[in-house]
Amino acid sequence: MLKELVVNAAEHETRVALLENGTIAELFIEQDDETNITSNIYKGRIQRVLPGMQAAFVDIGLAQAAFLYVDDIYDETSRELARQFEQEGDAFSDDPDHNGSGPDAPDPEPQDDPQKSQEWEPSFSPEVRIEDLVTEGQEILVQISKSPMGTKGPRVTAHISLPGRFMVLMPTVDHVGISKRITAEAERSRLKELLTCVRQDNFGYIFRTAAEGIDEEHLKKEITFLTKTWENIQKKNKTSSAPALLYRDLTVTFRAVRDLLTDEADKLVIDSKIGYDSVLAFLDKLMPDIKVSVELYQGSEPIFDAYNIEGDITRALKKKVWLKSGGYIIIDPTEALVAIDVNTGRYVGKYNFDETILKTNLEAVKEIAYQIRLRNIGGIIIIDFIDMKKNQHKEKVMNLLTKTLKRDKAQTNVLPISELGLVEMTRKRVRKNLTRTLCEPCFYCGGDGMLLSKRSICHKIHRDLLNEADDIMGSRFTLKVHPEIAHLLHGEQKHLIISLEREIRRPIIIYPEQHYHIEEYHIFETLEK
C-alpha cells in the first residue's frame, strides 16, 4: 500500500494528511491556539483538592485549570502503567497526536464515558487518597495527557513520558517495556540485553515499534538525547515559579515526521519552503540514517486540492454519508455517545431482500470504519445496522467490522451484535474529533440542530396573542416578526390573524424585522391618541 504524508503549512494552521493509496485516512490539525498542548510539561500549583472525586485542580497558567486524578500521581500506578505498556505494545500507536503519557487505557472520566470508567481498575491500594498525596498551594510537575475540550480543562498526569523515535523515556518509572508489535522473542530479548549494557540510570524505557533492529550506537544517541531533554526540564523546573511552561512538544509536522515517516509513510510532500527546510534539518539532526523522500510542493493550486483532500474533509463534516450502492449512513454525535445509523436509501438490490440488506451493511461497515478513523470519533459508539435475520449474515458483518478496525491505531473494543441489530463499541479518545476541531455550535439554533417550523411559530404567536389580549388595553396589536414569518401570516396562515382579530376585536399590524431570529417575535400594544 502506497502511503504518503501531505502537509499544508499556513501561518496560523498546519494540516497533515496521511494518504493510503491516494485516499485520506487520517487528518491531524494544529491551530494557533492554546488547545494544542498535549504532551506539554508544566510546573503547576495545586489549586484545589477534591476528596469526593479523588482528584485535584492544578493551575498551569491557562484559562482553565487542569484536572489531576489520584491514579495519575500515585507511584504504584505509574509502575502498573509501565507494565501495561509492555502488554499493550507501542502505547503511542505511532500517532503524532497521541498524548505520549500512558497506555491506551480506557478514559476514566465518568461524565465522558461511563462504560470505559468501569473497564480499567487502577492498581493502587484503596487506602491511598488524593488528600494524602497533594495539598493546596503545592507545586507539582505535570504533563498534559488530554487537551481541553469544550468547557473541560486539560487532564494532566505526574507520570512524565518523553517520546523519541525509537524509545519512550519515563523518568518516574524503573521499568523496561517493548512494543507488542515487535513479536520475535529473539529480538525482544536482544533489545532488553542491549539496554542493560547501555543504560546508566534507573529511568524507565519503552521500546517503540521503530526500535526493531536498532544497534547500540543509535540506542546510545537516543538515550542521550532523551536524558538531556529531561535534564533541561528539571533545570527549568528549579528556576521557574509556578505556573510555568517547561517543555513544549513538537509541532504536528515534526511529530508526523518522527512517528509516521518510514513506519507509516514512504514520502512527505509539504507546501512551505520554510517548513521544507525545517523538516530536512530535523531529519538530519535526529534521523540522519533514514532515507526518505521529502518534496516541496510548488503547484499552482492549493496542495490539498491537488491531492483531492478538501472534498473528503468537507464530506467528513456532514451527518449523512452516501454509499456507492445508493445506501447511506447517518453519523449523529450526542453528549454521551455517537450514534451511527445504516439505511438502504436508493439501493433496491438485484436478487432478494436479505441479500440487499447484507450488501448494504457490508458496504456500510467499510465506510463506518473509515469515517471513525478520519473523523477521530472516540468514546462510546452505537451502530444501528439494518436488521438481519440470518446468523451467518450477522457473522459476516461482525467479522468484516473487526477486520477493518484493525487498521485503526486507536484502541477499540467491539461487543457482539445485539438482538436489536445494534453494535456497541468504544474507541480511545485522546484529542478532539474533526467536528470539534473545525466547527462550533450553530449560532442560529444554539447547537440543537433543529428549529421550530414556520407553521409552529405562527401557531405559537396565535396562542400568545390570545393569552395576552385580556391584559392589554390598547386599541390594536403590533406584531414584529422575521420576514419569512410575516410573509406566512399575510399568506398561507392569514386565517390565524383573521380569526384572532375577530375574537379579540382589535386589528393586528404585522411588521417584518430583517435582523430577527426566525423564532423571535414581539407583541406591542398601541393606544389611541
What average pLDDT is seen over the chain?
Answer: 84
Query: Which of 76-80, 320-324, 463-467 shows the lowest mean pLDDT across its residues?
Result: 76-80
Q: Note the pTM of the prediction, 2 decimals.
A: 0.74
pLDDT at 118 over 60: no
Query: What value does the mean pLDDT take over residues 262-281?
Result: 88
How far is it, in rounded angstroms, from Cα 412 to Cα 87?
A: 16
Mean pLDDT, to the nearest integer, of 297-302?
92
Contacts 24+ apart (CB under 8 A), 282-287: 282/254, 282/257, 283/257, 286/165, 286/225, 286/258, 287/165, 287/257, 287/258
* 495 CB neighbour count, 10 Å cutoff: 10
- pLDDT of 261: 79
The per-residue DSSP string of 133-185 comes to H--TT-EEEEEEEE--BTTB--EEESS--EE-SSEEEETT---EEE-TT---H
**Across residues 140-155, what is the average pLDDT?**
86
Q: Where in the chain is the domain with CATH 3.30.420.40?
A: 1-37+249-315
Q: Which of 456, 443, 514, 527 is nearest to 480 (CA)?
A: 514
Q: How far apart are the first and last CA of the chain?
A: 83
**Each residue's pLDDT tens digit, 180-220:** 888 899 999 999 999 988 888 889 999 988 888 888 888 89
* pLDDT surpassing 80 at residue 113: no
pLDDT(151) > 90: no
Q: How far is CA 180 from CA 10, 24, 81, 164, in A?
A: 37, 27, 15, 17
Question: Range with the lowest mean pLDDT among 230-244, 247-261, 294-308?
Answer: 247-261
pLDDT at 66 over 50: yes
CA distance 201 to 198: 9
Comma-separated ranges of CATH 3.40.1260.20 domains in the chain: 454-526
Q: Which helix (H) or strand (E) holds 391?
A: helix 391-405
Whether 83 shows a pLDDT value over 90: the answer reads no
Interatomic CA distance for residues 158 and 160, integer angstroms: 6
Q: What is the mean pLDDT of residues 40-54?
A: 94
Q: Is the pLDDT of residue 121 over 70?
A: no
Task: Identify the residue with better confidence: 156 or 428.
Answer: 156
The 3-class SS string of 132-146 reads HHCCCCCEEEEEEEE
Q: What is the pLDDT of residues 453-466, one digit of tens each?
A: 999 999 999 988 88
Which is the CATH superfamily of the domain at 1-37+249-315? ATPase, nucleotide binding domain (3.30.420.40)
Are the beta carbons of 35 and 113 closer than 8 angstroms? no
Identity of the amino acid at 176: V
What is the reported pLDDT for 351?
67
420: its cell numbers: 436489536
- CATH code, residues 454-526: 3.40.1260.20
Spelled out in words, what is the top-level CATH class assigned to the domain 39-248? mainly beta
Average pLDDT over residues 282-300: 84
Q: Quick one: pLDDT at residue 433? A: 86
CA neighbor of 230 nearest in space, from 250, 258, 197, 203 = 203
Domain(s) of CATH 2.40.50.140: residues in the chain:
39-248
Give mean pLDDT, residues 320-327: 91
Instruction: Say if residue 243 is preceded by a cis peptide, omega within 30 of 0.
Output: yes
User: CA geometry: angle at 476 spanning 474 and 479, to 5°?
Assistant: 115
Q: What does the pLDDT read at residue 86?
A: 47
Angle formed at CA 379 by CA 170 and CA 426, multiple of 5 degrees: 90
